[in-house]
Amino acid sequence: MSERKIYSSLFAGFVFVISFAGLLFWWQAYQETTTVTFLTVGEGDAILIAQGSNQVLIDGGRSGKDLLARLGRQMPFWDRTVETVIATHPDADHIGGFSMLLESYKVSLFLYTGAESDTETFALLEQSLAKHHTERAKIFRGGRIQFPYGGELAIEYPVTALSREMKETNAGSIVARFTFGETEILFTGDLPNEEQVLPDILPVDVLKVAHHGSKYSTSAIFLDRLQPKESVISVGKNSYGHPSPDVLGRLGERGIRIWRTDTDGDVVYRCTRERTGCFHQ
């Protein structure tokens, strides 16, 4: 072999090693990247907690088309699996997008409270879960999801699994707390009268305002217990007056920063171990 070919082979080997090392470094960094994204899905909830290729989706909005469009912006094209889906309660503006999600992504686990609905939307969801043989399980206080590179999602409400016949679906909404480093984010579904249901709630840094800013949620008492620094309202065009001026006033009076998906688009928090917490991006 000529000296020139030897140098060419050595150079090619060097480039390969550097490229492979770079790819490994990128993959490790990607797997450790943690974000909490409140997706813009109109008058509904859809929250994606992603740590690399590991995702937890809390609610799916009303429209599968809107949900998939937003997920496509937040998840890489080659990742077609959502590890865990959580339905906070069976209302259409929280589960409507799940049927299309199940057609486009593999969902490894579907978690819910046990409450069901006699609506066509819920019937379609049940058909999709059966069609794709998706594992289902009930979740309530004490349930936890641990993320491999830090972070935990803990269920604080309901206290036990709910009856499938429960009529007041909002009142059975899952309340979950995501903790990453020094940051705590509370997800409240559509829960009304939180101060009565959660009398011993501990403070948080970020509050997902319940029920799209409904006047029946987010009382002064509840806010004083939580003492959040920031809040997120998942809301879209609606005829209910969401978010309520009273709720906006209570948040503003306490100096709580308000983010809204109808005006701010996707609201993203990036969580890092270096900064020991999550920060609005």
Q: Where are the domains of the chain?
A: 1-32, 33-280
CA–CA separation, 129 and 57 (whole Å): 15
pLDDT at 276: 84
Question: Got the DSSP string for 139-178?
Answer: --TT-EEE-TTS-EEEEEE-SSPPPTT-S-TGGG--EEEE
pLDDT at 31: 67
> Whose CA is closest to 99, among 79, 124, 130?
124
Residue 165, CA distances (Å) to 158, 174, 272 in order: 15, 16, 42
> Whose CA is closest to 173, among 154, 194, 152?
194
pLDDT at 274: 74
Partnered with residue 5 across adjacent β-strands are none
pLDDT at 156: 97
pLDDT at 268: 98
pLDDT at 273: 81
Global pTM reads 0.91
Those residues of the chain that have pLDDT short of 70 are: 1-31
Hey, how many other C-beta atoms are within 10 angstroms of the C-beta on 22?
A: 10
Q: Where are the alpha helices (DSSP H) in 219-278?
A: 220-226, 245-253, 261-264
CATH dotted code for 33-280: 3.60.15.10
Give every CB contact of residue 189 below 8 A, 6+ residues apart in sequence: 45, 59, 88, 89, 94, 170, 173, 174, 175, 210, 211
pLDDT at 102: 98
pLDDT at 163: 87
